[in-house]
Amino acid sequence: MNIDKAYNIWADQYDTNSNKTRDLDTKSTIETLNKFEFSSVIELGCGTGKNTIFLLKKADEIIGLDFAQEMLNKAKNKIKDERVEFRKADLTAEWNIENNYADLITCSLVLEHIENLNFVFNQANKKLKNGGLFFISELHPFKQYSGSKAKFETENGTQELETYVHHISEYLEVANENGFELLELKEWFDEENKSGIPRLIGITLLKKYCGQHRI
Ligand SMILES: C[S@@+](CC[C@H](N)C(=O)[O-])C[C@H]1O[C@@H](n2cnc3c(N)ncnc32)[C@H](O)[C@@H]1O
């Protein structure tokens, strides 16, 4: 099923249905980002604002981008805070945000829906300040190899979404080509199956300093 259409339908149950991937992402996002300070944040594919609530504990301003209006409506109804602006935008087109705006960009459970990682990483580099962080939390490619993908139940049966597999090497190569260095790579497992296939991969990248200021 087409991605934005699917999320417009899924929006009604996204926060409430049983979803191990969503719940583990909440944990990985909080545990990873609690270690850092940040002020200006761009949240890519913010959805219903599940992680915005945590980000607001530290941030002074957040721009949440998503192309599914119904997901954004849920976020807007849930979070009424003048520090947050939820905007309808397709991440595969130029992001309408000033360059060097953010000290943190987060991207949770979105990249499996985006074929061309290079465009997203290129935009992320432009919108981040030097030394800014790009945090990615994604369905682990090992999980994808075993057939997992975003899906939800409707009265007409299971709806599977359009997805793309990104290998770990691809994430790291695209990051390097777009001026990022790897700060941390973590794999997240289901609590009840720690010796199984990891469910999520968490990648924290640092935008390198340019020219003489390179660290
Ligand atoms: C699985 S949800 C994750 C939502 C939120 N980040 C979270 O962790 O709960 C994926 C979100 O990415 C959005 N998305 C996927 N592809 C997108 C694109 N090309 N542009 C903007 N949003 C996109 C979907 O509309 C959806 O809200």
How high is the mean pLDDT of the chain? Answer: 94
Sequence ranges of the domains in the chain: 1-14+25-114+139-179
Q: Best of 7, 41, 76, 143 to mutate for ligand 1, by most ligand atoms within 8 A of CB?
A: 7
Share of the chain above pLDDT 70, in %: 97
Which of 44, 172, 151 has the alpha carbon at shortest distance from 108?
44
Structure-token pair, residue 51? 């992680």
What distances in angstroms separate CA 7 from CA 2, 10, 110, one per listed residue? 9, 5, 11
Q: What is the mean pLDDT of residues 181-208?
A: 95
| pLDDT tens sequence across 101-156 | 999 999 999 999 999 999 999 999 999 999 999 999 999 999 999 888 888 888 88
Q: How far apart are CA 215 and CA 210, in angstroms?
A: 9
Whether 211 shows a pLDDT value over 70: the answer reads no
Which of 199, 204, 211, 59 has the alpha carbon at shortest distance from 132?
204
Q: Best of 21, 53, 66 to mutate for ligand 1, by most ligand atoms within 8 A of CB?
A: 66
Question: Where residue 22 falls among pLDDT bands split at 50, 70, 90?
Answer: very high
* CATH architecture of the domain with residue range 1-14+25-114+139-179: 3-Layer(aba) Sandwich (3.40)
Strands 84-88 and 102-108: unpaired
Confidence at residue 212, expressed as pLDDT on a 0 to 100 scale: 43
Asked if residue 153 lies in contact with residue 209, where contact means CB atoms within 8 angstroms, the answer is no
Which atom of ligand 1 is nearest the CA belonging to 4? Answer: 25
56 C-alpha to center of ligand 1: Å? 19
